[in-house]
Amino acid sequence: MPHPLEELRDSALREIAETQDESALEALRVRYLGRSGSISVWGEQIKTLSKEERPVVGKLLNESRNAVTAALAETGERLRAQREASALADIDLSLPGTATEIGALHPLTQMLDRAIAIFRRMGFALAEGPDVETEWYCFDALNTAPDHPARNEQDTFFLPDGRLLRTHTSTVQVRTMQSAPPPIRVIAPGAAYRRDEVDATHSAQFHQIEGLYVDDSVTVGDLKGTIEFFLRELLGAKTEIRFRPHFFPFTEPSFEVDVKSKALKSGEKWLELAGCGMVHPAVFEEVNRARGDTAYDPEKYSGFAFGLGMDRLAMILFDIPDIRLFSQNDLRFLRQFA
Ligand code: DAH
């Protein structure tokens, strides 16, 4: 007559072999091998047996446990494989996959990144300000008279609350000086807005890099050297550069900067790229008034500032014929710069 443990083992093996799903299999494991499972409890009973019976039943118990454990593992593996196979059954592995599209930086962003990298090497830190500004930041603080034509509604986008879309990035000069004392050496890349008649070379939104350097002995020589170094790094060592006297309310003296380079598509023509000059004492004084101190004492400090137009530069470097392409989001255009 088989030992009851043997009967228990055989019925466990039979049930395991017949199991069709993983949770039922787990229930069987608990029933036979769990802490109070019917095979496990034999471990306790052994203590009550006679000396002769004990090794026999002990051996049987070990064998039963091992056999049931192995059967559980084997059936578990089989059921898992079945589940995975049926999950894949509805999937047609021969269908093409979904390609992940890889994006690329916009040509203007690439242009700005190149320019910013050069200024950073010269020790300029990045500064920023909002596109929606007050008239004070855009004009008054920059020594621009109330009747200056740029303040006209014909030229500038005003919001109903009196604020405006900044017409240049020079606003960031004022914001930077307001928040920190000299020395200052920053660039501020960003968008600016004017109510221009839109055509191939004019857009209502354009991009500039503003620069500001204030310290105790900044000269026009520093201004020229900085701009020339930047342009030759960007456009090549053979680039010709010319500073033409000009007028800006917030600098004195002021210049416009033109470049000529065979490397450029514009070839032999002078190309106007930037405005610049020595920060006007009236700007320092207005900043002091706003700060409530004399941190920017015009007797002690001097500085230069510049504003570089980036759209035209990108158009020339990348041979782009129409400024409107920058904002039309046409993938056929954008993919050429990926
Ligand atoms: N803000 C001027 C413009 O948009 C450019 C400019 C001229 C910026 C002279 C400057 C500067 O910082 O010093 O036309």
pLDDT tens per residue, range 193-247: 999 888 988 899 999 999 999 999 999 999 999 999 999 999 999 999 999 999 9
* Per-residue pLDDT, 261: 82
* Per-residue pLDDT, 262: 77
50 residue type, one letter:
S
Say whether pLDDT at 285 is over 90.
Answer: yes
* Per-residue pLDDT, 12: 94
* Per-residue pLDDT, 201: 86
Say whether pLDDT at 75 is over 90.
Answer: yes
Q: Say if ligand 1 is within 6 A of residue 276 CB.
A: yes
pLDDT in tens, 94-129: 888 888 888 889 999 999 999 999 999 999 999 999
Q: Say if ligand 1 is within 6 A of residue 156 CB.
A: no
Q: What is the 3-state secondary structure (H, E, C) of the chain?
A: CCCHHHHHHHHHHHHHHHCCCHHHHHHHHHHHHCCCCCCCCHHHHHHHCCCCHHHHHHHHHHHHHHHHHHHHHHHHHHHHHHHHHHHHHCCCCCCCCCCCCCCCCCHHHHHHHHHHHHHHHCCCEECCCCCEECHHHHCHHHCCCCCCHHHCCCCCCECCCCCEECCCCCHHHHHHHHHCCCCEEEEEEEEEECCCCCECCECCEEEEEEEEEEECCCCHHHHHHHHHHHHHHHHCCCCEEEEEEEEECCEEEEEEEEEECCCCCCCCCCEEEEEEEEECHHHHHHHHHHHCCCCCCCCCCEEEEEEEECHHHHHHHCCCCCHHHHHCCCHHHHHHHC
Q: Say if ligand 1 is within 6 A of residue 206 CB.
A: no
* Per-residue pLDDT, 266: 67
Pocket test residue of 170, 173, 226, 258 for ligand 1, highest count of atoms within 8 A of CB? 170
Say whether pLDDT at 328 is over 80.
Answer: yes
Mean pLDDT confidence for 51-76: 93
Pocket test residue of 205, 213, 214, 306 for ligand 1, highest count of atoms within 8 A of CB? 306
* Per-residue pLDDT, 210: 98
Q: Smallest Cα–Cα separation from 115: which of 311, 325, 333, 319? A: 311
* Per-residue pLDDT, 290: 98
Span from the CA of 183 to the centroid of ligand 1 (angstroms): 20
Full-prediction pTM beyond 0.75? no
> Which range has the worst mean pLDDT, 8-22, 90-104, 165-179, 303-317?
90-104
Q: What is the percent of the chain with per-residue pLDDT over 70, rounded to a whole number?
A: 99
In this prediction, residue 59 has a pLDDT band, given cuts at 50, 70 and 90, of very high
330 or 102: which carries more pLDDT confidence?
330
In this prediction, residue 24 has a pLDDT band, given cuts at 50, 70 and 90, of very high
* Per-residue pLDDT, 97: 86
Say whether pLDDT at 264 is over 90.
Answer: no
* Mean of the per-residue pLDDT values of the chain: 93
Q: Say if ligand 1 is within 6 A of residue 306 CB.
A: yes
Say whether pLDDT at 265 is over 80.
Answer: no
> Which range has the worst mean pLDDT, 131-135, 270-274, 312-316?
312-316
Give the nearest ligand 1 atom to 211 CA: 12
Pocket test residue of 205, 227, 250, 284 for ligand 1, highest count of atoms within 8 A of CB? 250
Mean pLDDT confidence for 267-280: 92
* Per-residue pLDDT, 44: 86
Span from the CA of 276 to the centroid of ligand 1 (angstroms): 6
